[in-house]
Amino acid sequence: MSEVWQGALRKIDEYRYCIPKSYKDGMRVDGIIYVDEKLLKDIRHDKALEQVANVAFLPGIVYASLAMPDIHWGYGFPIGGVAATDPENGGVISPGGVGFDINCGIRLLKTNFQFEEIKEKIKDLVYALFNNVPAGVGSKGDIRVSEREEREIMLKGAKWAVEKGFGIEDDLECTEEKGAIPGADPYAVSERAYTRGKAQSGTLGSGNHFLEVQVIDKIFDQEIADSFGLSEGQVTIMIHSGSRGLGYQVCDEYSRDMIKCLDKYKITVPDRQLACAPLESPEAKAYISAMRCAANYAWNNRQCLMHLTRRTFEEIFRKSWQDMGMFLIYDVCHNIAKFEKHKVNGKEKTLCVHRKGATRAFPPGHPDLPARYKKTGQPVIIPGDMGRNSYLLVGTEKAAETFYSTCHGAGRVKSRTAATKAYDEGMLLRELESKGIFVKASGRGTIVEEAPGAYKDVNDVVNVVHNAGISKKVCRMRPLGVIKG
């Protein structure tokens, strides 16, 4: 594999590298990548570093174009990219800085079970979850909604599901933005997007989306783990999904429409996929309203998926989900742009923070955190591939240098096409089962596309953000049973 990146790259320290703004005429700020030498070898084979430099062209960008260690090539922005723009200094919003799966995110549930108590039931659980949770391309769920209800979901987010009996108020307390970001406008969403989203509430989707039963196999911070009610050997569940076809359609339409804004507002970027509009413009406001609709739809979707998961456990174990201790630790998104207060040169400013394949990581004491997490910092949930590990971390004050952002997963090293050529489904399933990991997927393609070898080692990725100080490890989980789309 030949190296794609031949540009300037300066080492700042063991976990940060810089693309100086002198690399390309038109860069307004440096690019800063959180990575170590081991991971950098893979990143150099990708076009993602060039995209980090390209993002630095955005009007109003503050401090630096940032990238996390799971960085890989994406649409416009690299996946793993972070950029904050200043509305008072010509700042823009770019749909490419959010991505197609708006509010793709992850939630972590705990249980009262120890691994030894349920190890004989793992296969039963996997089959039951696969039967009860719709997964795959175009999958449709049992939770059907009318057009009026769909508009309600876009405004209420996860609260809509709770009002329907698909959860409790405490779930909302443990969800970023309490499961709904204000300012959504259903009328900014096209009929095509409505049609694509109507039957997809409570569906897992395809690709890297999953539902995973796990066991905690290592505690790194006992005090914080105790405060979360987590211990070694305890069974947990992760749910990873987003806004499905609705979010994709919103991004697709607004990305195309915003190309016209480049000439209209005299914006120069090196890649049309970075099409953007000034934050105060009508085009930006329309996109923001539609993006928030898709974000709320995604929070509702994950709430419905959690309800189906709880119900499946009830069927298998003949207990209520409350008696099984299936309470939500947290739900956090990693494809969104949000207005947040951050310090710039010692002065607090409201910025538009794009996080594309990056996770919010607020520190202890942050005013936007629920009371239960004021002391510990925000839970940060980092999934790995289906053959290795996943992590729970917390946000730190040092993450101020990344606008309180950290990585979002392992990050691909092989495209889906390359993975399909490289792996055999039968061999892969046998290898996973030999490790005690049982997988069910809606099609052969998903299993080989999502092979562990198609991803960076999440342990390496998490070590970078932990050692760089932008989030702190709490515990590690290994997979037991995985449902893929």
- Write out the DSSP string of 238-306: EEEE--HHHHHHHHHHHHHHHHHHHHHTT---S-GGG--EETTSHHHHHHHHHHHHHHHHHHHHHHHHH
Output b/e per residue, 262-275; b: 16+ Cβ within 10 A.
beebebebbeebbb
User: What residues have CB less than 8 Å from 239, skipping those under 6 apart?
Assistant: 106, 107, 109, 210, 211, 212, 302, 305, 306, 309
Q: Rounded distance, CA 381 to CA 394, Å?
A: 8
Question: How far apart, in whole angstroms, are the C-alpha atoms of residue 244 and residue 386?
Answer: 21
Q: Where are the beta strands (DSSP E) in 313-389?
A: 328-333, 335-344, 347-356, 359-360, 379-382
Alpha carbon distance 144, 156 (integer Å) = 16
Q: CA-based angle 66:188:154, to the nearest 5? A: 80
Q: Does residue 408 carry a catalytic annotation? A: yes
Residue bearing tokens 């079970």 = 113
Cβ atoms of residues 72 and 463 within 8 Å: no
> Whole-angstrom Cα distance, residue 273 to residue 276?
9
Is the Cβ–Cβ distance between 19 and 8 less than 8 Å? yes
DSSP string, 2-71: -----S--EEEETTEEEE-GGGSTT--SEEEEE--HHHHHHHTTSSHHHHHHHHTTSTTB-SEEEEEEEE
How many CB atoms within 10 Å of residue 224?
Answer: 22
Identify which of 33, 68, 72 has the alpha carbon closest to the alpha carbon of residue 418: 72
C-alpha distances out from residue 317 to 108, 166, 208, 238, 310, Å: 20, 19, 28, 19, 11
Query: Which residue in 209, 366, 408, 466 is the catalytic one?
Result: 408
List of residues 6+ apart from 99 with CB closer than 8 A: 74, 75, 77, 79, 251, 335, 356, 357
The three-state secondary structure class of 482 is strand
Give the residue numbers annotated as catalytic, written as ranges: 408
